[in-house]
Structure 1
Amino acid sequence: MAKFPGKIFISSDLTKFPEKSLTSLIKRDDLQMKEIEIWEIILKWGLAQNLNLISDPDTWLDDGFKSMKNTLQNCLPLIRFYSLSSKEFFHRVEPYKKLLNQQLYKELLSSYMDPDIKANENISLPRSLKINGIIDSKIVDLNIVSLITRWIDKVDVNIKFAQFRELYLPYKFQLLLRGSRDGFTPKRFHELCDDKPCTVTFIKIKGTGEIIGGYNPTVWLSSGGWGKIKDSFIFSFKSKKEFFKDPILSKVKDYNYALNRLLERHGPFFGGDILIYSEDSRTNYSTSYCQQTFYEKKIRNTIDKFSMDDYEVFQLISR
């Protein structure tokens, strides 16, 4: 049922569809429907139980809203409103705002409009939609990919809520390099990644599970000096499973030193903030550490050297 819910709702008479079956379906994390579609299904189900109401909420009187709210009292708490885009919220939820708890409505509105408000700890994460062909990664999943892509496209006013929005996947992440497959030398990095625009690097740190990395909107080179880039950024996550707990986005603050492309023995080298290199381009990386320098925030609490479990570089391709 969770894999093909649309067929169930299309084939069912919603006037006879049991509330218990509906709530058991929409509470599932693996329900393969967009949140706005789930919202519209429960509205249709509610209308099917209130045949005196027509679909246009502008025609409803207060008694109509009270009746509908009572009908949907067990369904409304199961809708993940924070997964909706601002456009979906304003055009397809706002007309029904009298159905929502006033405090919830106020907090939702703030999440779309206030860049400084913090997210409530009780917000549900987006549903686990299965979308093939986006990325082949041993380090990250679609939740992290969606969040990184939002940061790249700057689609959220408040980045503190970005991880709670529905998956945003306008790009295919094409694998260029995986350390465990291609090796951990600067030479292989430059052979496979140089001259390819718009890349994201993911690094999994051995022993901690941390994931760090950065976005390069231009190209990597094995020489040529500092890369003067305006829109590059670096990031960190506590782990793959805990991506939603205080992810760090650190934007470049000194554009003149966004990328270090000075030597062929350097790997992915974001300013002075993520440094990965070896003594010789043909030998494995000997030094890796983070030190807040040319980007706004530090992405690790230590400047100690680290070893990599693995690292991957992807090129973004529009879908």
Structure 2
Amino acid sequence: KNILCYRSPYLRRILTSDKKNNDGVLTHIKLPNISPEIFQTILEYIYGGILSLNEHNSSDFLKILAVADNLHLQELINYLQKYLIENKSEWIVQNFGFTQQISSKSKNLLELQEFCTNLMAQSPEKFLLSFNFTSLSEKSLISLIKRDDLQMKEIEVWEHVLKWGLAQNPTLILDPETWSDDDFETMKNTLQNCLPLIRFFSLSPKEFSQKVRPYQKLLNRQLYEDLVDSFVDPDSKPNENTLLPRNIKIERIIDSKIVNNLSIVKTISRQIDKINIRNNFAHLKESYKFELLLRGSRDGFTPKKFHELCDNKPNTVTFIKIKGKEEIIGGYNPLIWKSYGKWGETKDSFIFSFKNNDVKDSIISNVRD
């Protein structure tokens, strides 16, 4: 008894409380949801300070960790978290949902929670699809979407938050056009701690119009008006507390052997949206994500191959590296490419030149009337 009391604050509280029968024998202590095998391992640790990890598979480590957490065995909690992260990271990746579920239920498994959050932040498309994302606790969701290094487009963050909110309110219909004022209020209360973490000012006009405007009743009225002003009033200014765009790695934005400067990609993106660099909100806009269609060094430079891979694709950007010079030239075409038929007409296309891999020496030429 003395050893149990000394080693486990949880057992100490139970064993030292007044739980004696008339015959002086302690009442039976129930520890639900703990298998005999796992509890035997815990007892060996409590009495002997020994943990035989080789006798258990990786899933048992999490079960032992969960029991150690219940019994407040802090030394064992710290050791197992470190052991799992340093020696079983691949297993955690393969069993992410189970690991995340166990760690998120505790206030003590902070290292494991942080490890799981890091995995989701760096590879969201992999881990958010590997388990039921909507089962995340609000705390876990907030710890993820507040991160500056979350590698997701902001519109994707917004869509995931909405999906999570709908899962917490299964009676709500997916289409916000059908929602009553009470429905909006319910959803607003559910997302009250998440909404301030969405970087709405990073969205493009199209994303805002199609994906946010239908849910405008969820937003603070002043925030919504400021968002509208950011698109229509060039003289409006962002609030000093406005969150900056997330730090998305360039390789997640563009797969290019020519462009390796994120500033160039941002400049092209702003030009596509016709955002003047002097616009007070220009620095808040995130870049478009570019999908590679053709790479000359891989696919060749023949007209036939170009049209095979690029025909019928609108909104394309071409980057060309000048041989022997530190200069990138190219252009943007909002229309689809065709290998036959008439010429297309648009005033939204432009050509550009970037020297020394820098936007300071850039030239951008638009179509003029």
Q: TM-score, normalised by structure 2?
A: 0.47
SS in 1 for 2:360: strand
Shift of 1:90: 0.9
The answer to whether the 8 Å contact 2:216/2:224 transfers is yes
Letter in 2 for 1:201: K
Paired with 1:31 and 1:115, the residues of 2 have a C-alpha distance of 29
Q: CA deviation at 1:54?
A: 1.0
The residue number in structure 2 matching 1:66 is: 185
- Counterpart of 1:200 in structure 2 is 354
- Helix, strand or coil at the partner of 1:31: coil
Q: Give 2:279's aligned residue.
A: 159
Counterpart Cα distance in 1 of 2:133 and 2:236: 39
Match of 1:25 among 131, 144, 155: 144
What is the correspondence of 1:55-134 to structure 2 with a 5 Å cutoff?
Answer: 55-132=174-251, 133-134=255-256
- The one-letter code matched in structure 2 to 1:46 is G
Structure 2 CA distance for partners of 1:231 and 1:213, relative to 1, 3 Å: farther
Find the aligned partners of 1:102 and 1:24 in 2 and give their Cα distance: 26
Q: Does 1:213 align with 2:322?
A: no
Going from structure 1 to structure 2, the CA distance change for 1:151 and 1:40 (only over 3 Å counts) comes to: closer
Structure of greater relative contact order (alpha carbons < 8 Å, 6+ residues apart): 1
Please tell me whether the aligned partners of residues 329 and 353 of structure 2 are also in contact (alpha carbons under 8 angstroms): no
Instruction: Identify if the C-alpha distance between structure 1 residues 64 and 203 changes in structure 2 by more than 3 Å, giving closer, same or farther.
Output: closer
Q: Which amino acid aligns with 2:352?
A: C
Letter of the 1:12 counterpart: F
The letter of the residue matching 1:159 is N
Deviation at 1:199, TM superposition (A): 1.3
Task: Give SS of 1:160's match.
Answer: coil
Shift in alpha-carbon separation, 1:27–1:172, aligned structure 2, 3 A: farther
Max radius of gyration: which structure?
2
Preserved CA contact (<8 Å) 1:68 1:99: yes
Letter in 1 for 2:361: G
In structure 1, the gaps of 5 or more residues are 178-187, 205-210, 218-229, 233-319
Q: How does 1:1-319 map to 2 (within 5 A)?
A: 1-132=120-251, 133-134=255-256, 141-142=261-262, 144-150=263-269, 152-153=271-272, 155-156=274-275, 159-168=279-288, 171=317, 174-176=320-322, 198-202=352-356, 212-215=360-363, 217=365
The Cα offsets for residues 83-110 of structure 1, whole Å up to 9 and x where unpaired, read as: 1111111111111111101100000010
What is the aligned partner in structure 2 of residue 257 from structure 1? none
Distance in 1 of aligned mates of 2:270 and 2:191: 35
For residues 178 and 219 of structure 2, the distance between their equivalents in structure 1, rounded to whole angstroms, comes to 18
Deviation track 1:241-284 (CA, whole Å, cap 9, x = no partner) reads: xxxxxxxxxxxxxxxxxxxxxxxxxxxxxxxxxxxxxxxxxxxx
Residues 94-131 of structure 1, C-alpha deviations (whole Å, 9 max, x = no match): 11111101100000010011122223332222212223
Question: Quick one: which amino acid aligns to residue 353 of structure 2?
Answer: T
Where does the alignment leave 5 or more consecutive residues of structure 2 unmatched?
Answer: 1-119, 291-316, 331-350
- Hey, what's the Cα distance between the residues in 1 that align with 2:329 and 2:191? 55
CA RMSD, aligned part only?
A: 3.2
